[in-house]
Amino acid sequence: MIDLSAYDRMLDVGGGSGAHSLGAVTRWPHLRAVVLDLPPVCEVAREFIAKEGLQDRIETRSGDIFEDPFPEADLHFYSNIYHDWSREKGVVLTQKSFRSLPAGGRIVVHEMLLDDDKAGPLTTAGYSIGMLLWSADGGQYSGQELTEMLAEAGFRQIETRSTFGYNSIVTGVKPAAAIG
């Protein structure tokens, strides 16, 4: 859905198994990736990365996405991360990405998006309600809410695109004149 040919290193924030990193580096052979997640999750990711023989292009980094500095990258990718947290914590992650990305760097937020009025779609609304059972402050966001978070942090060229099924991406670029 996005041409990543201009980027060299992707940070897969909370990247879990590394599936998105595996897909990205397979599609763009010049791209390298770092999966940032908790230590036991990184162990699982390393197994998948090794199975595909991509240890030379994808590394794992154990850490806390809120507390630890982000490894150097010009592309930050979040898949189903923002919905785990309150808007305040989403703002923290967005600002952290903005500060650590170089000028021209891109953020990509991959989520099931609510409509701007938050009344649907039904599947996304149902998923958001289900999260109340296991997340203290999470829930699905609308494309408008994520767009506002990115814009407030300083990102420009913000776009929302449908991807597959109920999923979409919201993406923005750190402008060249930005001081992060």
Decide: 44 and 71 in contact? Cβ < 8 Å: no
DSSP calls for 42-76: HHHHHHHHHHTT-TTTEEEEE--TTTSPPPS-SEE
The catalytically annotated residue of 20, 76, 83, 110 is 83
Given its phi and psi angles, is residue 21 left (phi above 0), alpha (psi -120 to 50 degrees) or beta? alpha
- Supply φ then ψ for residue 140, to 5 degrees: -70, 150
83 in active site = yes
In the structure, how many helices (H) and strands (E) does the chain have?
Answer: 5, 7
The DSSP output letter for 86 is -
The residues annotated with a catalytic role in the active site are 83
